[in-house]
Structure 1
């Protein structure tokens, strides 16, 4: 069976935690920031976990993660 290719875009966006969960960054923090409150922008800094329903799709894109 041939090697599986890693989805390069996904590889740059997701990391695995020590316990095996998949970590992601939050969206909406790159531009048009003047209308967003400081509290909201601080919230974007914190990472988040991929939802359990999306984990299978992410793992399929990242077979060697």
Structure 2
């Protein structure tokens, strides 16, 4: 649809933003990493240690205490996890 005003021709067709096109394709988050790791404010990641849920009778108390603490990602792991979880 065009509208003529004197010598000017104005187009009334809708223009669409192209900003969304630049971000394609969308990146998928690795589901296993999402379930195990949480991002912290420093940019690193934290996780719970495995082996604290069952068969605890044969484990020493100091070992159970260590297993209940958090584990943090090393710099190498952080680089891998940032690719695996791009939106965290």
Query: Shorter-chain TM-score: what band?
Result: 0.7 to 0.9
After superposing the two structures, state which structure 1 stretch, 18-27 or 41-50, moved more.
18-27
Q: Which has the larger Rg?
A: 2
1:9 paired residue number: 32
1:46 paired residue number: 69
C-alpha deviation, 1:30, in angstroms: 2.8
Give distance in 2, aligned partners of 1:57 and 1:8.
14
Give distance in 1, aligned partners of 2:42 and 2:84.
19
2:80 paired residue number: 57
Aligned length: 65
Higher strand share: 2
TM-score (norm 2): 0.64
TM-score (norm 1): 0.83
Question: Unaligned 5+ residue runs, structure 2?
Answer: 1-23
